[in-house]
Homo-oligomer: A and B are copies of this chain.
Amino acid sequence: MSKFNFNMLEADKGVKSVSFGPNSPLKRLFQMVVIKRECYVNDLWELVGHETVSTRDEKREDIRKSIDWLLKRLADLDVVAFGEHLGMQMTELYQTIRMPRVIIGVLVHSPSKPTILVYGNLDVEEAVVSDGWGTDPFVMTEIGEYLYGRGVAMDKGPLLCWLNAIQAYRDAGVRLPVNLVFVIESMAHCGSLGLETVLKERISFFRNVSCVAMATRRWQSATTPGVVYGSRGLIYYHLEVQCCNRDLSSFEHGGTIFEALPDLFYLLSSLADPQLNILIDGAMHAHPVDLNAVRCADFNYAEFGENLKVPRLPNRTKKHVALAENWAMPHLSIHGIEGANFEADVRFVIPHKVIGKFSISLAPNQRPEDVTRALQKHLGIVWLQRASPNKMMLCEKFVIPSWSGRCNSPEYLAATRAMTKTYNVKPNFIRDGGSLLAPSIFQRVLDKNVVVLPIAEHDIGGCPVNERISVDNYIKGSQLLAAFMWEYAQEKPEGDSVRGMCMPNDG
CA distance A140 to B255 in the complex (A): 33
Scoring A333, A338, A462 by chain B CB atoms within 10 A of each residue's CB, the highest score goes to A333
- Specify how many copies of this chain sit in the oligomer: 2
A344 interface contact, C-beta 8 A? yes
With CB as the reference atom, state the residue of chain B lying closest to A356. B265
Kindly list chain B residues whose C-beta atoms are within 8 Å of the C-beta of A351.
335-336
Cα separation A86 to B346 with both chains bound (whole Å): 24
Contact across chains for B272 and A269 when beta carbons are under 8 A apart: no
A314, B301: Cα distance in complex, Å: 50
Which of B257, B268, B310, B397 interacts with A262 by CB under 8 Å? B268
Tell me whether A348 is interfacial, beta carbon within 8 Å.
Answer: yes
On whether the beta carbons of B254 and A331 are closer than 8 Å, the reply is yes
Contact B331–A433 (Cβ < 8 Å): no
Question: Which residues of the other chain, B, contact A4 by a CB distance below 8 angstroms?
Answer: none
- Is A312 part of the binding interface, using a Cβ–Cβ cutoff of 8 Å? yes
Tell me how far the C-beta of A369 lies from the nearest C-beta in chain B, rounded to whole angstroms: 20
Q: Give chain B residues whose Cβ lies under 8 Å from the Cβ of A254.
A: 325-326, 331, 333, 361, 433
Does any Cβ of B come within 8 Å of A31's Cβ? no
**Are A344 and B335 in contact, CB atoms less than 8 angstroms apart?**
no
Residues of chain A from 278 to 333 with CB closer than 8 A to chain B in the complex = 301, 304, 308-314, 322, 325-326, 329, 331, 333
Q: Is A197 an interface residue (CB 8 A)?
A: no
By beta carbon, the residue of chain B nearest A299 is: B256
How many of chain A's residues touch chain B, expressed as a range? 35 or more
Chain B residues whose CB sits within 8 angstroms of the CB of A259 once the complex forms: 333-334
* Residues in B whose Cβ lies below 8 Å from that of A345: 55
Residue A343 at the chain B interface, CB threshold 8 Å: yes
The chain B residue sitting closest to A220, CB to CB, is B252
Nearest B residue (CB) for A341: B336
Residues of B within 8 A of A97 (CB): none
- Whether the Cβ atoms of B389 and A311 lie closer than 8 Å is yes
A interface residue numbers (CB < 8 A to B): 55, 92, 236, 243-246, 248-259, 261-263, 265-266, 268-269, 272, 274, 276, 301, 304, 308-314, 322, 325-326, 329, 331, 333-338, 340-351, 357, 359, 361, 386-391, 397-398, 432-435, 462-464
Report 20 cross-chain contacts, Cβ distance below 8 Å, ordered by A residue: A245-B309, A246-B462, A248-B308, A254-B326, A254-B333, A254-B361, A255-B276, A255-B325, A257-B310, A257-B313, A257-B314, A258-B310, A262-B268, A265-B268, A311-B389, A333-B350, A336-B341, A336-B347, A336-B349, A336-B351
